[in-house]
Amino acid sequence: MDRSIIRLLTCGSVDDGKSTLIGRLLVETDSIPHDTIESTKKIRRSGSTIAAGEIDFSLLTDGLEAEREQGITIDVAYRSMSLLDGKRLIISDAPGHEQYTRNMAVAASRADIGLVLIDATKGVRTQTLRHLTICSLMGVSRVIVAINKLDALDFQQVIYDEIKEIVEKVIARLQLLDVVFIPLSALAGDNVVGKSKNMSWYQGDTLLEAIQGWQPSKTAELSSRMRIQFVSRAENFRGLSGTVHHGSFNLGDEIRVFPSNKTSKISKIISDQKEVKSAAEFDAVTLLLESEVDATRGDLIAKVNEQLHPSDRFNADIVWLHEDELIHSRSYLLIAGSTQTPATITKIKHKIDVNTGSEISATDLGINEIGSVEIATDMPLTLLAYSESREFGNFILVDRLTFNTMGAGMIRHSLRRGENLTYQKYEVNKGARAAQKNQQAKVIWLTGLSGSGKSTIANGVEKRLYATGMHPYVLDGDNLRMGLNADLGFTPADRAENVRRISEVAKVLVDAGLIVLVAIISPFEADRRRAKSLFEDGEFIEVFVDTPVEICAARDPKGLYKKASEGNIPNFTGVGQDYQRPSKPDLLLKGDDDLDENIAKILKAII
């Protein structure tokens, strides 16, 4: 990061006075145009108590009209000002409402200083504790705890001391090392830029002094590194383009590309369409290598002596940002820099109680909850511990269907078991096994409500295939729950794990050259998509057995609909739990059509 720029994040609960404080700081450092200041004397929020003709400082950082109408900060508002030592301060005014914690978390990931406001009239609240926890996880270097609105309490030192004592206990368990406490009044201006005459008992820095006095902490020096953003190709030209994140590269340097671990030497460096001899930190360049190496978008380039360890298993901290809860065994898209790969949460170790700091056993994470997880990625990644490198230690999880951002993560460390596994290839492969059986190996995935006819159709298809001398096998959801999946219930998390296990078994059977018929409800499209992603093109046929729930309930071969209607099965699909219809199934069957016709349609897709 360019140290001529300091990034300040302001956070706290709703109505703690963040916008007012930052507005005053900007005005008193002459960082706001005078005509803008004049406009704040004329505009008033609904319910505002500020007298006509006075400045409403809070309006200076609200960028959305909706914020002014509601009197809250929704988005992160960014403002810039110059400090006395010539550095530039970028101020991020983060939302205080719990609903917008995700906005605050994103801003914290880039912040040098976290300014956490506490309303002295209300004391320490849960959202304050959550923001302190996120500042700790996101590696914010300095935290300034500003205890605001002391003017409403006659500037009593005892109030300040009581709040400070509570926060100090939180800071100790969060292991925040650089913390400054400041009593102030954003509305009256006490201890914002100038010393307060009303709080002579406080002899510490003002807010401006605490910001200007910050110095970056010394961290371990990183070798020269560049993440490939794209591969430039033309006739007789192949360059690796990106921005140098650390150190520098020089003509003739020997480099190593991760995760392939291939080495080469820099033959040319191109910057701004000109050949140069070196590339410094933050330069956007294209590197040409003497010999071609296996490199693609998202890979990491470092000096040849750098010892990095690509892995596909990681321990990480997660701040969950979406209304839909994080589900164990659900597949998401992991994005780290320009790298994208499917990833699965293999274990939720615990979630953190932001009030006490205790670790609570958990099977899922809800919105704004923070937890520790283990992640498996579909390909090896060169990620570092977040404590070592913010740039190479962060990632986000994205829903693979909607592309909504679901969570923000920080790598703690890679897991050794991910580094020590190597896929073993055998001479007798899937193609040879299928050819021996005179068939094409594939999986027919039948999904639909309970009672839709999946198992009946799968049984009929298997009998027809077997009669012709082919080699089918049925994986039935209920049968597998009596053995392999006997430990699983019917919550969304357990259903995701149920589908994951069955899809992995199906993959093994396809590798054995079999035609696999899977009869399983699999109610969630994300889980079915993840199952399909395990197979090569043409190997996975999704069959939606579309049977109205009324017909399924009338059939009720297992008596489950009756039990569900009586309240004895709370997570029963179609009654107590939604079924997500396949958006684009490979084959659509009507469950109330003639059985032989449905069997014939599947056989046509197989043979």
Active site members: 522
The position carrying tokens 């003709």 is: 53
* DSSP conformation class of 152: G
The tokens of 356 are what?
């006490």
Tell me the C-alpha to C-alpha distance, in Å, between residue 422 and each of 42, 98, 120, 419. 69, 44, 58, 8
Q: Quick check: 84 and 206 in contact, CB under 8 A? A: no
List the Cα angle 67/70/74 in 5-degree steps: 40
Q: Quick check: 335 and 398 in contact, CB under 8 A? A: yes
* DSSP conformation class of 51: P
- Residue 11: closest CA among 133, 185, 167: 133
CA distance 195 to 176: 26
- Residue 60: closest CA among 5, 19, 119, 115: 19
> How many other CB atoms are found less than 10 A from the CB of residue 456?
19
CA distance 189 to 211: 16
Phi, psi of 34 (to 5 degrees): -65, -35
| Strands 113-119 and 300-303, bridge-based pairing | unpaired
CA distance 24 to 56: 9
Tell me the C-alpha to C-alpha distance, in Å, between residue 5 and each of 89, 91, 118. 6, 11, 26
Tell me the H-state helices in 63-143. Answer: 65-70, 101-108, 126-137
Q: Which residues pair with 519 in a beta bridge?
A: 446, 476
The tokens of 312 are what?
């596909």
CA distance 607 to 603: 6
Phi, psi of 579 (to 5 degrees): -115, 120
The position carrying tokens 């159709």 is: 457
Q: Tell me the angle at which helices 492-511 and 525-533 cross, rounded to the nearest 10 degrees.
A: 20
CA distance 197 to 298: 55
| Burial class of residue 315 (count of CB atoms within 10 Å of its CB; 0-12, 13-18, 19+) | middle
The tokens of 463 are what?
């009998």
Q: Quick check: 129 and 162 in contact, CB under 8 A? A: no
Helix (H, G, I), strand (E, B) or coil at 117: strand
Is residue 465 within a helix (H) or strand (E), and if so which, with residue range? helix 454-467
Helix (H, G, I), strand (E, B) or coil at 240: strand
